[in-house]
Amino acid sequence: MTALIEVKNLCVDYITLNGRVRAVNNVSFTIEEGEILGLAGESGCGKSTIAFALMRLHRPPALISGGEILFNGENILDFDEESLRKFRWKDTSMVFQSAMSCLNPVKTIEYQFYDIFKAHGAVASRQESIVKARELLNIVDIPEERLFDYPHQFSGGMRQRVVIAMALALKPKLLIMDEPTTALDVVIQREILQKVYQLKQQFNFAVLFITHDLSLMVEFCDRIGIMYSGQLVEVAESKAILTQPQHPYTFGLGNAFPTLTGELKAMTGIPGMPLDLSNIPSGCRFAERCFKASELCRQTEPALHYQPERGWAACHQVLPVTARTGQDIPTEDVY
Residue 242 lies in a domain: yes
Residue 24 lies in a domain: yes
As for how many domains the chain has, the answer is: 1
- CATH number of the domain bearing residue 237: 3.40.50.300
Residue 133 lies in a domain: no
User: 112-142 burial, b if ≥16 CB within 10 A, otherwise e?
Assistant: bbbebbeeeebbeeeeebbebbbebbebbeb
Residue 47 lies in a domain: yes
**What are the DSSP calls for 212-249, one per residue?**
S-HHHHHHH-SEEEEEETTEEEEEEEHHHHHHS--SHH
Residue 232 lies in a domain: yes
Question: Quick one: DSSP state of residue 82?
Answer: H
| Domain span including residue 314 | 1-83+174-179+202-259+266-335
Residue 149 lies in a domain: no
> Maximum distance among all alpha carbons in the chain?
68
Beta strands in the chain (DSSP E): 3-16, 19-32, 36-40, 62-71, 74-75, 92-95, 174-178, 206-210, 223-228, 231-237, 305-307, 311-313
Distance CA 11, CA 286 (A): 19
Written as tens digits, the pLDDT of the chain (335 aa) is: 578 999 999 999 999 888 899 999 999 999 999 999 999 998 889 999 999 999 999 999 999 999 999 999 999 999 999 999 999 999 999 998 776 678 999 999 999 999 999 999 999 999 999 999 999 999 999 999 999 999 999 998 899 899 999 999 999 999 999 988 777 788 888 888 899 999 999 999 999 999 888 888 888 999 999 999 999 999 999 988 988 899 999 998 888 777 767 777 777 778 888 899 989 999 999 999 998 899 999 999 999 988 887 889 999 988 765 444 443 434 344 44
Residue 97 lies in a domain: no
Torsion sign, CA atoms 60, 62, 68, 73:
negative
Q: 126-139 and 109-119 helices cross at what angle (nearest 10)?
A: 110
Residue 254 lies in a domain: yes
Distance CA 146, CA 109 (A): 8
Report residue 292 CA to chain centroid gap: 28
What burial class does residue 214 get, using C-beta atoms within 10 Å of its C-beta: 0-12 exposed, 13-18 middle, 19+ buried? buried
Alpha-carbon dihedral of residues 303, 246, 35, 232, nearest 10 degrees?
-40
Closest CA to 210 of 53, 14, 2: 53
